Amino acid sequence: MAWRYGNPVQIEFGVDSFAKLPELIGKRRYAIVTYGEPFFDGLAQRLSETAGVPVLTIRDVAPNPDYRLLAEQTRRFAELKQQPELIVALGGGSVIDSAKVFAAAGGDFGRIKTYLETLKGAENLAATPLIAVPTTAGTGSEVTCWGTVWDEENGKKYSLARPNLYPTHAVIDPRLMLGKPQLLTVSTGLDALSHALESLWNVNNNPVSANHAVAAARTALDVLPKLVCDLGNIELRSRMAQAALFAGLAFSNTKTAIAHSLSYPITLRHGVQHGIACSFSLPMVLRSVQGAGGLCEDSLKQIFGPDLSRGADALEDFLALLGIPTNPAAYKIERKEWRLLIADSLQGERGKNFLGSKERLLEAAEMPRMPATKTA
């Protein structure tokens, strides 16, 4: 079996590692990309006091970064007398994805739009260095070279993927994740679990990514139900942050697969939060890859035990414990639409990474089961 693995991101992990940011920034002009909430205002102020005042602060990032807002935000970079030498992304996946757009745009969103829609003009894209500071445990974007961009007006989702969009550093401070509400903790944690599993039933999987994925999935399955009942527990936050990081390191080399491909139209059409949209189908996918053999099946058995059918049931119970139904009808997706979504998703960029078959997936979609576990 021939394979390769690589990831250039320098990782700083640990409680209070946020304090290392001024040293990483040095004397460079920098911009901050974050959310417009008091918690993030406070972090930005701390950074300003220790690393100098940023040349620009973008603080109106929205979930699912969209063409219109990204274009307006990019114009603010164009209006600067001097462009930043560095961008600091301080927040969740939407913040880090937005920062990658700004890093590649060089003040001109038209370059991004052209590249996303035609895959031409790569030579016109910029590559401003980026430091990612995730404040949720789930995105993995701090160790990948792509970001998700949405064109909601036309119902499309794009992936901005360039090798030079890997952050130079990822600073992962579990203390920044304390106080996050239960639903956000669940949805981001399930996103991380999905990243791990999606990297296993994947044509691009390899032994290194598989090791990261197994560690991530086993930790997430153990920690997440405990964490939702103890949101202020720094040890559990640290373990979940590490699981999300390992999941990111796994899918940074494989990209995601069918569950994510399914999730994009579900988010666009039905408004289902990303972490939930890409995770409620995981038991179905797991049932469909029984018998796949090789690294995929060996790795899944390390997570769920030798009987993957029972493992899929246990995964369904795990989701139910977190209040996540696995029946598409719970998200107002009718049976006919669900089958069409599965078929269409297999043709998508991420769906083509799936090493299973359409027939087995559709068969698994017809295997409803009532979870045995009560919600926490």
Could you give the residue ranges of the DSSP H alpha helices within the chain? 21-25, 38-51, 67-78, 93-105, 109-118, 182-198, 207-227, 234-254, 258-270, 274-277, 282-288, 294-304, 308-321, 335-346, 358-365
Tokens of 52: 């100098």
Per-residue pLDDT for 67 more than 90? yes
Q: Are 75 and 88 in contact (CB under 8 A)?
A: no
Separation CA 68–CA 268 (nearest Å): 16
Same domain, 74 and 196: no
The reply to whether 376 falls in a domain is no
Tokens of 342: 């599965």
- The CATH code of the domain that includes 55 is 3.40.50.1970
Per-residue pLDDT for 137 more than 60? yes
Same domain, 253 and 129: no
Q: Could you tell me which of 111, 107, 87 has the C-alpha nearest to residue 99?
A: 87
Q: Are 371 and 317 in contact (CB under 8 A)?
A: yes
Same domain, 107 and 236: no
The answer to whether the pTM exceeds 0.85 is yes
Per the structure, the count of domains in the chain is: 2
Mean pLDDT of the chain: 95
Same domain, 257 and 121: no
Q: Which of 119, 151, 175 is the last residue of a domain?
A: 175
Q: Residue 370 — very low, low, confident or very high, per pLDDT cuts 50/70/90?
A: low
Q: Which domain holds residue 60?
A: 10-175
Q: What is the mean pLDDT of residues 324-337?
A: 95
Q: Residue 276 — very low, low, confident or very high, per pLDDT cuts 50/70/90?
A: very high
The single-letter DSSP state of residue 141 is: G
Give the chain's radius of gyration (CA, Å). 20
Same domain, 160 and 191: no
Q: What is the pLDDT of residue 376?
A: 52
What are the backbone angles phi and psi of residue 31, rounded to the nearest 5°?
-115, 150
Q: Which of 175, 210, 236 is the last residue of a domain?
A: 175
Q: Residue 22 — very low, low, confident or very high, per pLDDT cuts 50/70/90?
A: very high
The reply to whether 2 falls in a domain is no
Same domain, 108 and 164: yes
Separation CA 134–CA 38 (nearest Å): 17
Q: What is the mean pLDDT of residues 346-373?
A: 86
The reply to whether 373 falls in a domain is no
Q: Are 114 and 108 in contact (CB under 8 A)?
A: no
b/e for 289-314, b at 16 or more Cβ within 10 A? Answer: bbebeebbbebbebbbeeebeebbbb
Q: Could you tell me which of 251, 236, 222, 233 has the C-alpha nearest to residue 321?
A: 222
Q: Which of 175, 202, 228 is the last residue of a domain?
A: 175
Separation CA 314–CA 301 (nearest Å): 13
Query: Which residue type, as a one-letter code, is found at position 103?
Result: A
Instruction: Identify the residue whose tokens are 């989702």.
Output: 157
Q: What is the pLDDT of residues 297-319, one digit of tens each?
A: 999 999 999 999 999 999 999 99
Q: What is the mean pLDDT of residues 98-110?
A: 97
The reply to whether 130 falls in a domain is yes
Same domain, 92 and 223: no
